[in-house]
Structures are given as C-alpha cells and as structure tokens.
Structure 1
Amino acid sequence: MKLSLGPVLFFWERDTLMQFYAEMAEQPLDIIYLGETICSKRRSLSLDDWLGLAGDMQQQSNAQVVLSGLTLVEAASELSSLKRMCENGDFLVEANDMSAVHYLSQRKVPFVGGPALNIYNGYTLSEFIDAGMMRWSPPVECSAKIIAAALNQLDELGVARPEVEVFAYGHLPLAYSARCFTARSENRPKDDCDLCCIKYEEGIPLLSQEGQALFTINGIQTMSAEINNLLADFPSLQASGVDIARLSPRAQGMNEVIAAWHNVRQGELAPLAVQGCNGYWHSRPGMVSVEEAGLC
C-alpha cells in the first residue's frame, strides 16, 4: 500500500511550512499533496510559491507531487487562481470543487478526486472517471462497505477501477461554510479577520456544555475533535482494495506517524487498537473508537 501526505489543512507561517516540507521530503512517502485548500486569504505561500515548492519537492523526494485546489470557491479571483493551477502543465491536480473538475475535464488531463467531492456510488464514480478522474479519495464518512459497493458497481458497469485513497489519519474534514468560524470566535467579521487562524496551529477545539470536545474549528472548515486513525484497520484497508492511505499533516509528530504506518506496510503487525477514532470505517458514528467500544 502507498502512503500519501495530504495538504496542510491549517494556517501555518511560511517558515514553518518550508521546514515541514523539508522534513517530509526525507520521509518514505509515495505521494505529497501541496496547496491551500481552505481559504484563499491564507497567503503564507502564493500559487507561484506552491509551484516552486512542488518543483523542489519533485527533485528532493521520490514521491509524486500533486497540487490541491480550494474546496469552496467563492470569488472570481479564486476561480482565476484555480484555473491557473489546473493549467500548470507539470503536476497532477487534486480537484476539491466542481469548478476544478470542469477545468481539468475541458483540458482532458487526468486528476485526483478529493474527499470533498460528493461521490458515494459507482454510477457517480463512473461519470467522474469519464471526466478524467484517475484516483478517488472517498468522502471521509464513507465506510469500507460503501467503498466496496461503489467499486462493485463499477465492475458491473464494466468501468476500470481508479486508484482508491482513504483518509487514514488526522482530524477529519467534515463540513465547509461560507462563514469563517475562527473569525467569529474572536468577534471579527470574515472580511476583516486579521488572519487570526494563524494563532491556532491545529484549529480551535469546540466543546459541548459538558466540556467534551466535539469538533475542531479551522476557518470555514469544521473538523473532528478526535484524530481519525485507521492504523489498527490496516488489514481491512488492504482487503477492501484500498491502494493509498492518506495521512493528514499535524503540527507535531508527523515523522513518528509516518514511521508507524511505514513499518506496518513493510510487514510489522498492525496494533490491536490505537488512540483516536475509526467509527466511520466500520459504519458507526465517526467519533467512536470501535475497538474500545467493543463493536468490532
């Protein structure tokens, strides 16, 4: 199984990003995603910077470099930048919005279908494959059964399966909104946010009235509070035909996370249980740790 590093979903300083990717270039990764997917106002790196970094990463690492586009396009300037990314001519693009699918399909170039695209069955999957999608990252709430059913429908339709890439580690991206929740938490309007999300390297925990962490606020994005971790489910990932496990960047400890996954794919036994949640994979509520709940 291949390992991929998803795009950084949080807002980090330029130096932090550059140091992070310098370290990631030395890791045993097969695919590295680069780009801003959450908010176009996060300009630690411009599109030209991302393209330059992609070129550097391609030379420094054996990993395939993929450019990730915005998930929610709201302005003409964002659309123009996304179109330019789709026309880069050198790197595969991950489409997280239908506008990117449109541009890439028009150019007749292959692309990655990101987890924000609403693809839940083989019939929809077939349409995207016809448009040029060669790798599918299912929505994070998809279980092993949903993915298997979609792939079986593809077989019945006589359509070749794409690569399948599952979001296997990190805060789950659950929803997107035109409203910026981080700005609202500081009583700031979205248009005058002062880029306050730079202060929260892994977002803001959102607690219930009882003090339980339910979600993580990350700009316009709502994420899981718990870390989704499918390392203990590695055997079932393989059995389900998953080709790639996506590890979503965190501010600390990514080297150790990658090493653990790499050791298991090299033949080390997967742990019986891990810290974090894995409910969605087992058709359960996403925040559940199936092993701890005795549901597996």
Structure 2
Amino acid sequence: MQLSLGPIFYYWPRQQVEDFYHQALASPADIVYLGETVCPKRREVHPSEWLEMAAPLAEAGKQVVLSTLALIESRADLATLRKLCDQSGCLMEANDMAAVELLSERNLPFVAGPSINIYNSASLRVLQQAGMMRWVMPVELSRHTLQGILEEVQQFGFAQQVQTEIFSYGHLPLAYSARCFTARNRNLPKDDCQLSCLDYPDGIPVHTRENTSLFTLNGIQTLSGDIHNLLAEYHDMAAIGVDILRISPNSSNTLQVLEQFDRIRRGETLSNQLIASDQGAATFCNGYWYGKPGMDFT
C-alpha cells in the first residue's frame, strides 16, 4: 500500500509550512496533499504559492495533489476555486461538490476527499464516471461497510478505475460550520477573528466536565479529541483492497509517525503503544472502524 500525507488542517506560519514540506521531501510518503481545506482567510500561503511548493515534491518523486476547501461560503471562494481548477496543473482533491462539478466540466481527473459523502458503490460509480480516480472513505464508515462497498465495486467491474484511501492516523475531521469556534472562544466575531488560529497549531482541545477528551476545535472545523490510529489494522486493510493510508499532519511528529507506518509496510512488527508513546496519547478513538461509537478505543 502507498502512504500519503494529508493536507494540513491547522493554520501554521508560512515558515513552519515550508519547513514541514522540506522535511517531507525525504519522507517515505508516496503522495502529498497541499492546500487550504478549512478557511479562506488563512493566507500565510496563497493558492499560487502552494503550486510553487509542489514542484520540489514532484521532483522528489511524490505525487502532489492540491486540496480544495470543504465549505464554499462566498462568491470569492468560488472564484478562487475556479482559478485553481483552471491553473493548478496537478491532480486535485475535491472536498466540496462545487469542486467536483468544476473539475468534471473540465474533464479533469480528481480525488474525492473525506468530506464528500460517499456511502455506497452507486455513489462511487457516479463520481467515477464524472472523473474521480480515487476516493477517501468518509471517516465515520466501518471496515464492514468498506468491505461491502469494495466487493460491489469489484462485481460491477470498475475496481481498477478507482483507488481507495483511508484516513489512518490523526484527529478525525468530523464537521464543518459557518461559525468559527476559535473566534468564538476569544469572544471575537468571525469577520474580525484576528487570525486567532495561528495561536493553536494543533487546534483547541475540548474536554467534558469529567476531563475526558471530546473534540478539537480548529476554526470552522470540528475534529475528534483523541487521535484515530489504524496502524494495527494495516494488514487487514491491505487484505480488503485498500490502496493508500493517509497520515494527517500535526505540529510535532508527523514524519516520525509516517516512518512507523513505513516500517510496518516493510514487514516489521510494531504496536499501537509505540506510536502512543511517540505522540503522547493515552488512548485512540478507533470506534468507527469497528462499527462502534467513534470515541471508543478498540
């Protein structure tokens, strides 16, 4: 299976972004996703500059994919999206149906991101016919559901035309809202957020009154409080036909986690506990994979 680095969900200073992707040049990642998927006000890196960052990654042998916003809220957002579709020159990940429509109109192949609601093989077929060459399974689906979908895709005869990518490590992207929770946390209006997300390189952790990890707030995005980790399911995912495992970037040790997945890929035996010690996480939230509540650790 291939390994991918997902788009950076959080708002990092430009230098931090550049340093991260410079380090990624020598990483075992086969695929690297670039671009802003959460908030158009995050302009430390402009859309055209993402394309400049793509060049050395492509030269290093990585497949570069440019990701789009998951929530289009204005005509300006739509205009930026149109420009990206016209000028990107690389494969794009559509995280909104507007991007799917624009890319399909231009007869361009695309990746359907995890915020596109694909819950069955019929939806996969429709999008594949529109130009989709890879889908990232919605994070709330289970192994059992995925296996059923992939079996039907095989029966319908288009399995070779569509790759399957699984969100395998990181805080799960759960929901998007027109309201900015980071600005709200500081009693600021969304239109005058003062780019508060820059102060939270891994989002804002939210706990219950019993001090149990609940969510991570990241601007308009809500993520899981705990980390989702499918390292132990590597061989199971390979057996059912998964093509790509996605590792979602954080501000501390993403590339080390990527190395751990690569060691499993090369045949070594590792445990979830090893990554837990690296990440400082006591538990993981893997419940969705098993068809259970997402907060469960199984």
Shift of 1:164: 0.5
Show the 5 A alignment for 1:130-209.
Answer: 130-161=129-160, 162-209=162-209
The aligned counterpart of 1:116 is: 115
Match of 1:96 in 2: 95
Counterpart contact for 1:277–1:288, Cα < 8 Å: yes
- The aligned residue for residue 218 of structure 1 is 218
CA–CA distance in structure 1, aligned partners of residues 77 and 56 of structure 2? 25
Compare 145-154 and 169-178 and name the one that shifted more. Answer: 145-154
Task: Tell me the equivalent position of 1:278.
Answer: 286
Q: 2:281 maps to what in 1?
A: none
Could you tell me which amino acid in structure 2 is paired with residue 143 of structure 1? S
Distance 1:102 1:42 in 2: 24
| Aligned AA (2:146) | I
Native 8 Å contact 1:123 1:153 kept in 2 = no
Q: Please name the residue that 1:50 is paired with.
A: 50
Root mean square deviation, CA, Å: 1.2
Q: Please state how far the C-alpha of 1:238 moved relative to its aligned partner.
A: 0.9
Q: Mark the runs of 5 or more structure 2 residues left unpaired by the alignment.
A: 277-283
Q: TM-score, normalised by structure 2?
A: 0.94
Q: Give the percent of matched residue pairs that are identical in Structure 1 and Structure 2.
A: 47
Of stretches 8-17 and 229-238 in structure 1, the one that deviates more from structure 2 is 229-238
One-letter identity of the residue aligned with 2:134: R
Instruction: Look up the equivalent residue of 1:55 and give its one-letter code.
Output: A
Query: Equivalent residue for 2:295?
Result: 287
What corresponds to 2:81 in structure 1?
82
Distance 1:247 1:238 in 2: 16
Q: Determine if contact 2:14/2:44 at 8 Å carries over to the other structure.
A: yes
Deviation at 1:56, TM superposition (A): 2.6
Over 3 Å counting, the alpha-carbon distance change for 1:272 and 1:225 in structure 2 is closer
Q: Distance in 1 between matches of 2:249 and 2:194?
A: 24
Structure-2 change in CA distance of 1:233 and 1:15 (3 Å): same
Structure 1 stretch 23-32 or stretch 276-285: which is displaced more? 276-285
Aligned CA distance change for structure 1 residues 68 and 211 (closer, same or farther; 3 Å): same
Shift of 1:84: 1.3
Q: Distance in 2 between matches of 1:39 and 1:137?
A: 20
Q: Deviations over 1:204-242 (max 9, x none)?
A: 011112221100000000000101010011111111211
Larger deviation: 152-161 or 22-31?
152-161
Following TM superposition, the consecutive aligned residue runs of length 4 or more in structure 1 with deviations greater than 6 angstroms are: none
Equivalent-residue separation in structure 1 for 2:159 and 2:270 (angstroms): 30
User: Is the CA contact (8 Å cut-off) linking 2:51 and 2:88 kept in structure 1?
Assistant: no
Cα contact 2:3–2:31 (8 A) shared by 1: yes
Q: Is the 8 A contact 1:233 1:270 kept in 2?
A: no
SS in 1 for 2:28: coil
What amino acid is the match of 1:191?
D
Structure 1 gaps, min length 5 = 291-296
Cα–Cα, structure 1 residues 272 and 34, in superposed 2: closer, same or farther, change >3 Å? closer
1:37 touches 1:71 (CA, 8 Å); kept in 2? yes
Partner Cα separation in structure 2 for residue 124 and residue 171 of structure 1 = 26
- In the superposition, the TM-score normalised over structure 1's length comes to 0.95
Amino acid at match of 2:128: I
**Deviation at 1:89?**
5.1
**Corresponding residue pairs, total:** 289
Distance 1:289 1:224 in 2: 13
